[in-house]
Amino acid sequence: MAVERWLIVGLGNPGKRYENTWHNLGRLALQTLARRHRLSVNKIRFKGLSTEGLICNQQVLLLAPETFMNLSGESVRAAADYYKIPEENIIVLYDDIDLDVGMLRIKEQGGAGTHKGMKSIISHLQSENFPRIRIGMGPRPLGDMVDIVLSRIPKSDQEIVQRSLDAAADCCELIIQGEISKAQERYNQKKELD
């Protein structure tokens, strides 16, 4: 298999205030993948924190935008343009309130749904043709959406959330090896991760 360059993006908001919140599940999944491969996402570039390295024999740029969620596309576009990464080689990890906690959905392409970070990326790339991994944080409780997504992940959900972050990292590895169908088969059908 030829070595390709990939961009893997973990969506979230910057700063201590937003650490370990539901809306930062994408960023937490990116950190999980980075730790697994002994990489540190700490270089300031492309309006974000990034690092480069080899994962599964593929050249990968990991990026955590430091813009707020609604402006994530600025960071992603800057990195993709600099490295001339085609959109089909951009993987975006992000939270999804319409999926139960512990569930993942892997898609090769598609719309943003209600996620403002994804709307920004699609707008800046002028394309929906990139893989994404949605990480469940639902079911949607009653209340203000902003308060819900920016709330901290409770201790009672930490174990299942960590399993979903590990599974999202597994999916990234499968996708960059050309195995998105295997990732979908393994994780899209499950109600809750083992």
CA neighbor of 54 nearest in space, from 21, 113, 8: 8
Residue-wise pLDDT for 10-49, tens only, equals 999 998 888 888 889 999 999 999 999 999 999 999 999 9
Map out the domains of the chain as residue ranges.
5-187
pTM of the model: 0.91
pLDDT of residue 18: 87
Q: Strand pairing of 43-45 and 48-55?
A: antiparallel
pLDDT of residue 194: 55
Q: Which residues are known catalytic residues?
A: 23
| Superfamily classification of domain 5-187 | Peptidyl-tRNA hydrolase (3.40.50.1470)
Sheet architecture: strand order including 48-55:
43-45, 48-55, 58-65, 5-10, 90-100, 132-138, 104-107
Residue-wise pLDDT for 118-177, tens only, equals 899 999 999 999 999 999 988 766 666 666 777 788 898 889 999 999 999 999 999 999
